[in-house]
Amino acid sequence: MGFMPADKIASFNLVRHTVIQHITDSKMKHQSFKTASAKNFRFLSRNYLRHTVRITAGLTALLVVSGGSIVLSGEVNAGATHSQNIAPTLTAQVPTTATVIYVNPTTGADTAGAGTTANAPYKSITFALSQAQPGTTIQLAPGNYTQESGETFPILLKPGVTLQGDEASRGQGILISGGGFYTSRTFARQDITILAEQNTTITGVTITNPNQRGTGIWIESTNPTIKNSTFINSIREGVFVTGTGNPKIESNIFVQNKGNGVSIAKSAQGEIRSNLFQDTGFGIAIGGTSTPLVVENQIIENQDGLFISESAKPVLRKNVIQNNKRDGVVATVSALPDLGTNENPGGNLIRNNVRYDVNNATKTGTILAVGNDIDQKRIAGSVDFVAAVVDVPPGGAVAFKDVPANYWAKVYIEALASQNIIAGFPDGTFKPNEPVTRAQFATIITKALTPPTKRPAIQFKDVASNFWAYAAIQSAYQSQFVSGYPDGTFKPQQQIPRVQALVALANGLGLTANNQSVISFYVDAAQIPDYAIAPVAAATVRQLVINYPTAKQLNPNRQATRAEVAAFVYQALVNTGRAQPIPSSYLVTVQ
């Protein structure tokens, strides 16, 4: 990332600093990486606890020096008006009148007469937009949408148009990558991937701007809805909101963007709800006189959780802001965030941030923070604080450091993690290729499927009543998902093979197959044990089986990995009607 001189009119000051290594709370268990939106709290006190900590002269300078983060600058010529220097888009000869336009960068063609069906799609979003009218949905097939595939950046999303990929997977496999110059009325020239106009919707896509100072989506005084998408590896931020922008940004994942997850400037408003901000510079940077509502987000493991500057007055409610490498919430200059009042308590969980949970560096203002779960010892500056205990319910997006955007099981892992069915490790990893023990498997299926009792409990010789998974093993046994061995043992620490996992799911769900010959689909069908033939056939017919990297290779006796178990269990949820199907080339669909 390059640097910009302080005296140069620009949108941002890009700066660096030494990353502080965060040490995760030692109380977290080896599979308890669970963060979720805070919704309920209990007051501990009705008395104001006023914390006034003297701020040293060097602190303000330190706040400006923020590693990999972007500080919203007040030096920009906010009143300037510029023309939009954007490359023209293609114009087709015959407009499309259908309300849905299909695009596929691999099989499509940007020619007249295409785009009306998934079997005859256009090739580029750019061309499809030249045909779109207000109310049109542009449906994207999996693939990479880049300059090489025919896109012209920035992509100008016309008013009233919906750009739609796969919402269930938050855009896995539907990557829009690139950027081009756009001249902002409030922030001069920018490099952006998509300009979101009035009444537009962007959903189910992955967006990356790899260019220097690159931004994913730019919102200039408009009101788009951005939901169920992934913003990853942009050089600056995922979304920038400026002017009088009033977007709804909901249920997205912002991870590993070099600057910020979302930047909000000028007099923007909007709602930022139920997103995950992880492993970036500032999770959210809020400046100008903006007043966004920030509610029910997970803001974790960033340099700072929220950096609030200038005269911004955001409203923060029911967020989880923890494990950030420096501060949870920083307020500087004349910013005055609303962290809760007597009438409307905050309900934020702000803890385990390395330096401060709340850092009021304004020197003049007092932050009112009623009804939040904050470590009083980690409050700096003038804060009127009423403590509460915030209970963190399950739910919310989760991302793991070692599960990249193109990982085959990413969507299954994150779907189960968001429901607290599975979890990662304290260091932010999931370790998808590690094996699963029988005890861990019993725990996962009990959490996922809440199975009913079908037979009496049994006391296994090697599972003591104080064993951590005792209750889960009993539940899984009573519901016929798992069984013991003839010698009366369960072998809880034994790593479970793939075939056992599939047999367990098929038996527990009561699945059967009329034709067991369906297993001949697998090139290694001869390796399936006799006892497992009928259940594996049933699991195959009911589409529980996902085989990576080759759909026809079952590998029945190989140890199941954490990723594979996540995929199997997700398909079990689909089978019971508790989850939406997710397309995958590794899903076995033979009948």
Contacts of residue 209, defined as CB under 8 A and 6 or more positions apart, other chains included, come to 177, 178, 179, 191, 192, 193, 215, 216, 234, 235, 236
From 262, 317, 324, 310, select the one nearest 293 (Cα to Cα). 317
Domain locations in the chain as residue ranges: 24-62+266-393, 79-251, 410-575
* One-letter identity of residue 145: Y
Angle, in degrees to the nearest 10, between helices 562-575 and 410-418: 70
Q: Are 41 and 389 in contact (CB under 8 A)?
A: yes
Q: What is the 3-state secondary structure (H, E, C) of 65-85?
A: CCCCCEEECCCCCCCCCCCCC
Give CA–CA dist 12/75, Å, rounded.
9
Give CA–CA dist 476/487, Å, rounded.
19
Q: Is the pLDDT of residue 418 over 90?
A: no
- Peptide bond just before 154 cis, omega within 30 deg: yes
Q: Is the pLDDT of residue 400 over 90?
A: no
Give CA–CA dist 78/105, Å, rounded.
38
pLDDT of residue 399: 77
Q: What is the mean pLDDT of residues 158-184?
A: 93
Tokens found for residue 462: 């090697």
pLDDT tens digits along 318-334: 999 998 999 999 999 99
pLDDT tens digits along 264-321: 999 999 999 999 999 899 999 999 999 999 999 999 989 999 999 999 999 999 999 9
pLDDT band at 580 (very low <50, low <70, confident <90, very high): confident
pLDDT tens digits along 494-547: 999 999 999 999 999 999 999 899 999 999 999 999 999 999 999 999 999 999
pLDDT winner (highest mean) among 34-48, 129-143, 424-438: 129-143
pLDDT tens digits along 82-125: 333 333 333 333 334 449 999 999 999 999 889 999 999 999 99
Instruction: Indicate the DSSP class of residue 561.
Output: B
- Peptide bond just before 492 cis, omega within 30 deg: no
* The domain defined by 79-251 carries CATH number 2.160.20: yes
Q: Which helix (H) or strand (E) holds 567?
A: helix 562-575
Give CA–CA dist 95/91, Å, rounded.
9
Give CA–CA dist 428/564, Å, rounded.
19
From 220, 232, 287, 218, select the one nearest 261 (Cα to Cα). 232
pLDDT of residue 72: 55
The pTM of the full predicted model, rounded to 2 decimals, is 0.68
Pairing, β 188-196 against β 180-184? antiparallel
Give CA–CA dist 247/280, Å, rounded.
21
| Cα separation of the two ends of the chain | 52
Half-sphere exposure of 238 (CA within 13 A, CB side): 33
Angle (CA) 483-450-448 rounded to 5° is 90
pLDDT band at 31 (very low <50, low <70, confident <90, very high): very low
pLDDT band at 69 (very low <50, low <70, confident <90, very high): low
Q: What is the mean pLDDT of residues 125-129?
A: 97
pLDDT of residue 423: 86
* One-letter identity of residue 194: I
Pairing, β 100-103 against β 137-140? parallel
Half-sphere exposure of 286 (CA within 13 A, CB side): 31
Between 94-103, 152-161, 197-206, the lowest mean confidence (pLDDT) is in 94-103
* One-letter identity of residue 228: N
Give CA–CA dist 105/115, Å, rounded.
12
Q: Are 328 and 358 in contact (CB under 8 A)?
A: yes
Exposure b/e, 475-495, CB count within 10 A at least 16 = b: bbbbbbbbebeeeeebbbebb
Give CA–CA dist 446/81, Å, rounded.
60
Give CA–CA dist 585/158, Å, rounded.
33
Exposure b/e, 257-269, CB count within 10 A at least 16 = b: bbbbbbbbbbbbb
Q: What is the mean pLDDT of the chain?
A: 84
Tokens found for residue 414: 């994150």
Instruction: Indicate the DSSP class of residue 117.
Output: B
pLDDT of residue 70: 52
